[in-house]
Structure 1
Amino acid sequence: MVVTEDVDLPSCSELTVPEVNLSTATLMSAGPYFGKDCEAINNEFMLCRYELDDPRACVNLGKKVTSCTMKFFKKVKENCLEEFNQYVNCVDKSSGNFSFSKCRTTQTVFDGCMKDKLNMERPDFGYFTRPRVHCSPSPAPESPPCPCYQKFPDATPSLPDWKPRPPARFGSRFYWMTE
């Protein structure tokens, strides 16, 4: 990527945030709860990324998403650590592809803890596939003053005159299919 002197790039200190170093099994086990808990800020971040098409403008929202992730896992650690660890270990060690099918009992215990102590219910199957309207508090971006893309006429409005090909010299490869 070529960058000119006119472009202001954020410094390393602005980009440095604590990372969420968790295993695949941990993220998959907490995924439904985490997705629902941080849904609003994540949707705002993704909206910023798609509308502005400039990652520099969305750095602060990305920090908020990471912060929400850290807060969520701290809540789980304070309230349901033992149940969560059992569920994660089951998901991690019961199959080679992190299947949930053999861990329904530990999942039920973890779901009960999340309901009792954090008042969070596991989203139903298909919750994240349903379309929802996100009401953003930030204003819509301005449209560009000039069109970014020019429309050019089609180079070939029609195909050139087409003549049928002569039959194959040695016959068809599919001689067994005829008649």
Structure 2
Amino acid sequence: MVITNEVDLPEFSALNVPEVNLSTTTLMSAAPYLGKACESINNEFMLCRQELKDPRQCLELGKQVTACTMDFFRRLKKNCLQEFNQYANCIDKSSGDYSFRHCRKTQSAFDYCMSDKLCMVRPGFGYFCRARIHSSSRPQPAGTPCPCHPVVPDATPSLPDCKPRPPARFGSRYYWMTE
């Protein structure tokens, strides 16, 4: 990517945050609970990225997302580590494509622990696909159209001429079906 002198890049110290170094199965096992626990800050971060179209202006929100994730895994480790490890290990070892279907018993034990000790209930199927309104405390950036009145481009000025097509050279494609 080529940039010019006018582009202000953030200092390395502004980008330096502790990373969440976890495996695929660990993240897959905790994903519904993590998504629910950090839902508001994730939505705020994604709204910032969508509205401003410049990730440099959303660095602080990104740090808050990482901090929320780290805090969630600390609470998980403190309260439900054994059940979580059994569930993640089952997902890792039971199939080659990280399928959940072989691990419903360990999932149930993990869900019970999360409900009992952290008061978190697994979100229902399709929870993250539902449309929800996120109310933000940030002011709407200037120049962003109101989502209630989207800007719709003008219709196509004219359609191409619809000339009748000549008959097929070699007959109908349904020739073999009519006999």
Taking structure 1 as reference, are residues 97 and 157 closer, same or farther at Cα in structure 2, changes over 3 Å only? same
Aligned to 1:33: 33
Aligned to 2:47: 47
Aligned to 2:13: 13
The alpha carbon displacement at 1:52 in A equals: 0.4
Aligned to 2:4: 4
Alpha-carbon distance between aligned partners in 1 of 2:37 and 2:173, rounded to the nearest angstrom: 65
Alpha-carbon distance between aligned partners in 2 of 1:104 and 1:44, rounded to the nearest angstrom: 33
Q: For each residue in 1:74-123, what CA deviation from the matched residue of structure 2 results, as whole angstroms up to 9, or x when unmatched?
A: 11011111110000000111111111111111111111111111111111
Aligned residues: 169
What pairs with 1:1-179 in structure 2 (closer than 5 Å)? Answer: 1-143=1-143, 159=160, 172=170, 177=175
Q: For each residue in 1:16-45, what CA deviation from the matched residue of structure 2 results, as whole angstroms up to 9, or x when unmatched?
A: 211111111111110000000000000000
TM-score, with length taken from structure 2? 0.83
Unaligned runs of 5+ in 1: 145-150
The alpha carbon displacement at 1:158 in A equals: 5.7
Q: Which one has a bigger Cα radius of gyration?
A: 1
TM-score, with length taken from structure 1? 0.83
Which residue identity is paired with 1:142? A
Alpha-carbon distance between aligned partners in 2 of 1:47 and 1:10, rounded to the nearest angstrom: 21
Alpha-carbon distance between aligned partners in 1 of 2:160 and 2:98, rounded to the nearest angstrom: 53
Unaligned runs of 5+ in 2: 145-152
